[in-house]
Chains A and B, each alone.
Chain A
Amino acid sequence: MNSVVGQPISRVDGPAKVTGHAIYAAEFNLRNMVHAALVHSTIAHGRIDQLDTRDAEQEPGVLAVISHLNAERLPYEPLEKRPPVDPKAGEQLHVFQGPEILFVGQPIAVVIAETVEQARTAAALVQVAYHEQVATTEVRHDRAQPPTEASSKAGRGGGSRGDAEKAFAKAPVKVDMWCSHDREHHNAVEPHATIAEWFGDHLTLYDKSQWVDNVRSEIAHVFGMPAENIRVVSPFVGGAFGSALRTWPHVTIAALAARQVGRAVRLELTRRELYVSVGYRPRTEQHMQLGAEADGRLVAIIQDAVAPTSVYEEYAERTADPVLRTYSCPNVQARYRLAPVNANTPCPMRAPGIATGVMALEIAMDELADGLGMDPIELRLRNYAENDEAKGVPWSSKALRECYQTAADRFLWSRRSAPPRSMRNGRLLIGYGMATAFYPAERAPASVQAILYANDTAVVRTASSDMGPGTYTAMTQLAADTLGLPIERVHFELGDTEMPKAPVHGGSMTLASVGTAVVDACKALMANLPAGEMAEGHGARLRRAGLESLTATGHSEPGDEANKYSSAGFGAVFAEVWVDPDFGTVRVPRIVGAYDVGRVINPKIARSQCLGGMVGGIGMALMEQAEWDARLGRVMNANLAEYLVPVNADVTDLDVTFVRSSDEIFNPLGAKGLAEIALCGVAPAIANAVYHATGKRVRHLPIMPEKLLVD
């Protein structure tokens, strides 16, 4: 039989999705279900003085209005070990446990009613009086502190080698600049939603989640109940980009409300509510200093990054990673500091920290190339990191040179005229820019169950997730090949805590972790298959042995390779921009990316992943921006009309190539993981192209028209 791994199979879940058969969290229609609507604080810091729910309670259909005044006290037991998706310090928001207000948009009450409309109407009638206190709504650099040791230990602090300050001071060529990107929100199409239903002391949650096991474990701690009594179901996720990694307060609210009213409760967040409920990519300001020899070799990199966190949790990210690991440089100093503000806690969003660290580094590298009068690719090749100098170990594989070469060829980089503002098409200024892409490859323990049936079908399952990258499809391909079955005969299931444990569907780890376990389980199944004739099918062998089915489990986890090697995905991204100098508008007619992501299991969905990353990168470079009003402590454009993401007309010619690569040191599949790397490098490539087009360096993303019009 022909292998399906490596083939451009269409999504196996595609038909269910386009025919409406895929059921998302908000769509489970339980009998007896009632609806919840939230009431939010309108001040940034203080206490609730009075909360008057009488009018709301009088509304037709209302079952309960729950707030700190009448909510059950929840134990919020500390977790023995915090999951990787949670901040390492501070305490998650406790809902309805007291009158304290820490940010605008904090949930302060929930109305439960027979219909959504009744619940929302009543929620608007809840009257609140506050005692307001002074709030911190801006990042103050003088108040910013390095993250706690717990965060640093988790790789979310700074790092250094050599003596960067000294080397920078002596360097003959320097770049010294500040850059930043604005706060971004995930804005997946599917809003977050939870449906909670109690059966005695057992709880079932239908939730939008990238990690059902973690929802179970956190809710067990919040309610002080055994995890076994909780089932979490999340078969489909309509995009998440990191927003569904954590277990957010609204999940607790749904469960608490369902217990209090004794009915199944459905809580679906509105678009505006998402901006205060599920985190965001924090605005990060970065001071970058590069020192180099006249021949372009880096002698010093210094980064000083400052980002906000909330006043109740310390959210830290790996902003220092790219600076420490992308290029060969003897002296590197990466500082990272956090300043608490009265806002909800930020959270991972597509390549958290990495995409933004890459952004700063790659804009700085472009400035260095410009200062040296050197081709930007040549500068990067001169500083090629043969090893991971941060960890002092070799890469398990690295084909970045091939990426530069391939992307440059496909882009026709050789047509670039080097001086800024030297390429035109009529009145339009044309610019070419490039950047390196980098994203660490990791994996985590995963378990899988595989069942073969006597009718020659198989079911393979694990509590993983598919927020869109194609987990269903890739796992089905791996299982089909290992079992020697046609793909239609293999059903892959995920998103249910009844299934074997899987790691978080994040950090681009799913294929390398879960995929390896899928192969392991299927191999175990094959090993236990009763003997039979050569030509005999699996089912026939089972039937002959009097078996209806055969079950096996598989497991995978990182081994010693994680100590001996460093693993990462690499890429090179090239962008062309057209700038209208009269209006400052930037359009991106084409992007070319070449990637080393190890073995590609499905080139079609892999390409889609990269297209999505490029579109996200256009957004990050040119338009995505939560507009924060510090006086009011809130995002003012919290809707999809005013928070701009690219539309079709912004996306033209996107070209994706995967260079030949397979990393069997990293894992037996040879796949390094392909998701977040697709975003890395896109925004700086565009920003560098804008500089090349206009001669004007915009270091604060997004590059809105006025930044090119006004000095």
Chain B
Amino acid sequence: MLAFSYVVAPHAETALSLVCGGSNATFIAGGTDILQLLQEGVIAPPSLIDINALPFSGVQTEQGEARIGALTRLSDVADDPGIRQRFPLLVQALQETASPQVRNMATVGGNLLQRTRCLYFRDATVPCNKRQPGSGCPAWDGLNRINAIFGGSDRCIAANPGDMAVALLALDADLLVQNVEGERRMRLADLYRMPDENPQHETTLASGELITAVLLPSNEAAGHSYYLKVRDRASFEWALVSVAAALEMDGTRVHRARIVAGGVGTKPWRLMRVEEALQGRPLTPDLARQAGNRAGDGAAPRAGNAFKVPMLQRAVERALLTAGGIA
């Protein structure tokens, strides 16, 4: 770990000006991920800008679009009555995230930007294209059971580890982002980049941009949604495979489905083939199975993570059955 300076930003303008201008300064929110990265020497920013004092926490769910401040703690989001009522899918995803202790510290913005758990990224003494561009990807032919089966390239197959983003994508969330010029709104779906040639660039945020809020449109899926997470131990672990299923039903028919998978993609992975298979059809156990079987379409597993394909297929099936109330 290298020495760094630490500044508590009193307002957003200070935070943004400190981080912009190519200084490589980095924001710290709950610190639950960035401290690990600092301690292990995975990153070594010259300064940390503490954004916890900025006025971006709190949840508004009264009507229409719901708004979750980026500095809201995960536990506060999960406990919010409005969120519980309107977005149970998000609550389930949060309750399956990390542990109560971590959720009490971790923020929404930080959670969206947590870094991959790829074993090679997290050990600063080995090659990793994401950490050290051009150094190689030992995961490609190495220990890759937790890595991605979708969206990888031979440069990088690091999985996006988050749970919340998977649920938020199924809920079609937007983000509010601030930079020195002002505020912009973007789709969460556009936040993450594929690794392609440049796995070091993980998001479309410009350096120094601050996420200030997550916006959730109203939807009709609250009664028919489910977040399913499969992992090696019963709690306190990232997903091997997770599925967020949000169904808007028209009687027994699926009117609109958004199905997103976690733990399997280099970004939260929308399963379009599954959604297509469901569209307009009556939800039955047979349909759930057929749709689930489409979940692996396009997957490019490596030796250590091929099991994720059948696991994902069955996870989608199970999530659909549960979301549809026919389990």
Known: A629-B142, A639-B122. A705 touches B234 (CB 8 A): no
8 A Cβ contacts from B38-84 to A? 39-41, 44
Q: Which residues of B contact A142 (CB under 8 A)?
A: none
**B176 on interface, CB distance cutoff 8 Å:** no
Interchain CB contact under 8 A, B233 and A583: no
A634-675: which have CB < 8 Å to B? 634, 636-639, 641-642, 644, 646-650
Check if A124 sits within 8 Å of B1, measured CB to CB.
yes
CB distance from A144 to the nearest CB of B (A): 24
A93 to B101, CA, bound (A): 40
Task: Answer yes or no: A170 CB below 8 A from chain B CBs.
Answer: no
Q: Is the CB of B120 within 8 A of A583?
A: no
Q: Are A649 and B234 in contact (CB under 8 A)?
A: yes
CB nearest to A619 among chain B residues: B233
A125 neighbours in B (Cβ, 8 Å): 2
Which of B2, B44, B99 has the largest number of chain A CB atoms within 10 A?
A: B2
Q: A489 on the interface (CB 8 Å rule)?
A: no
Q: Which of B41, B44, B122, B318 has the most CB of A within 10 A?
A: B122
Give Cα A637–Cα B230 distance, bound, in whole angstroms. 20
- Tell me the dominant secondary structure on chain A's binding face: loop
Once the chains bind, are A634 and B126 in contact (CB under 8 Å)?
yes
Q: Which of A592-641 contact B (CB under 8 A)?
A: 622-623, 627, 629, 631-632, 634, 636-639, 641
Q: Which residue of A lies closest to B307 (CB)?
A: A706
Give the contacting residue for A632; candidates B138, B235, B314; CB below 8 A.
Answer: B138
Say whether A644 contacts B138, CB under 8 Å.
Answer: no
In the complex the two chains form, what is the Cα distance from A700 to B203 in whole Å?
40
Q: Which of B126, B138, B230 interacts with A583 by CB under 8 Å?
A: B230
Known: A623-B233, A650-B233. A272 touches B3 (CB 8 A): no
What distance in Å separates the Cβ of A641 from its nearest Cβ neighbour in chain B?
Answer: 7
Q: Is B125 an interface residue (CB 8 A)?
A: yes
A683-711 contact mask (Cβ, 8 Å, vs B): 1 or 0 = 00000000000000000000011100110
Question: For window 192-248 of chain B, which residues contact chain A by CB distance below 8 Å?
Answer: 230-237, 240-241
**Total of A-B residue pairs, C-beta within 8 Å:** 104
Chain A residues, Cβ within 8 Å of B12: none
A648 to B237, CA, bound (A): 12
A649 and B2 contact, CB distance less than 8 A: no
- Taking a contact as CB atoms under 8 Å apart, the answer to whether A124 and B2 are in contact is yes
Asked whether, in the complex, the Cβ of A587 is within 8 Å of the Cβ of B3, the reply is: no
Given contacts A629-B143, A644-B233, A704-B232, contact A584 B307 (CB under 8 A): yes
A642 to B121, CA, bound (A): 12
CB-defined contacts of B234 to chain A, threshold 8 Å = 587, 647, 649-650
Within 8 A of A (CB), among B140-193: 142-143, 145-146
Contacts of A646 in B (CB 8 A): 233
* Nearest CB of chain B from residue A650's CB, rounded to whole Å: 5
Say if the beta carbon of A405 comes within 8 Å of chain B. no
Q: Which of A623, A631, A648, A710 contacts B307 (CB 8 A)?
A: A710
Q: How close is A576's CB to chain B, nearest CB, in angstroms?
A: 15
Chain B, residues 311-324, CB within 8 Å of chain A (1/0): the string is 10011011000000
Q: Are B240 and A705 in contact (CB under 8 A)?
A: yes
B310 beta carbon closer than 8 Å to chain A: yes
Q: For residue A646, which residue of chain B has the nearest CB?
A: B233
Q: Which residues of A contact B231 (CB under 8 A)?
A: 585
Determine whether the beta carbon of B311 is less than 8 Å from that of A644: no
Complex alpha-carbon distance, A641 and B117, angstroms: 9
> Closest A-chain residue to B237, C-beta based?
A644
A631 touches B125 (CB 8 A): no
Point out which of A118, A646, A706, A709 has the most chain B C-beta atoms below 10 A from its C-beta: A706
Given the complex, which residues of B lie within 8 Å of A644, measured CB to CB? Answer: 232-233, 237
Interface check A582, CB cutoff 8 A: yes
What residues of B have a CB within 8 angstroms of the CB of A124 in the complex?
A: 1-2, 41, 44
Taken residue by residue from 81 to 116, chain A's Cβ proximity to chain B (1 for < 8 Å, 0 otherwise) reads as 000000000000000000000001000000000000
Chain A residues with CB below 8 A from B2, complex form:
121, 124-125
Q: Which residues on A sit within 8 Å (CB–CB) of B125?
A: 40, 42, 104, 634
CA distance A623 to B315 in the complex (A): 21
Q: B314: which A residues are within 8 A, CB to CB? A: 582-583
Are B36 and A631 touching (Cβ within 8 A)?
Answer: no
CB distance from A443 to the nearest CB of B (A): 38
Determine whether the beta carbon of A709 is less than 8 Å from that of B307.
yes
User: How far is the CB of B42 from the nearest CB of chain A, in Å?
Assistant: 11
- On chain B, the residues within 8 Å of A272 by CB distance are 40, 123
Closest beta carbon of chain A to B24's beta carbon, Å: 17
A117 located at the interface, meaning its Cβ lies under 8 Å from any Cβ of chain B in the complex: yes
A120 in contact (CB, < 8 A): yes
Complexed CA–CA distance, A632 and B142 (Å): 10
CB contacts under 8 Å to B, within A247-285, are 270, 272
User: Which positions 81-130 of chain B face chain A at CB distance < 8 Å?
Assistant: 99, 117, 119-120, 122-123, 125-126
A117, A629, A634 pick with most chain B CB within 10 angstroms = A629
Bound-state CA distance A121–B236 (Å) is 31
CB distance from B34 to the nearest CB of A (A): 14
Known: A42-B125, A632-B138, A636-B120. A647 touches B235 (CB 8 A): yes
List the interface of chain A (C-beta within 8 A of B).
40, 42, 104, 117-118, 120-121, 124-125, 270, 272, 582-585, 587, 622-623, 627, 629, 631-632, 634, 636-639, 641-642, 644, 646-650, 704-706, 709-710
Q: Which 10 A-B pairs have the closest CB atoms?
A: A706-B307, A582-B314, A649-B234, A649-B235, A636-B119, A650-B234, A583-B230, A121-B3, A647-B236, A42-B125
Known: A117-B3, A583-B314, A636-B126. 14 other contacts (CB 8 A): A582-B318, A585-B231, A623-B233, A636-B123, A639-B36, A639-B122, A642-B119, A642-B146, A644-B232, A644-B237, A650-B234, A705-B240, A706-B307, A709-B311
- 10 residue pairs of the A-B complex, CB under 8 angstroms, read A42-B125, A118-B3, A124-B1, A632-B126, A647-B99, A647-B234, A650-B235, A709-B307, A709-B311, A710-B306
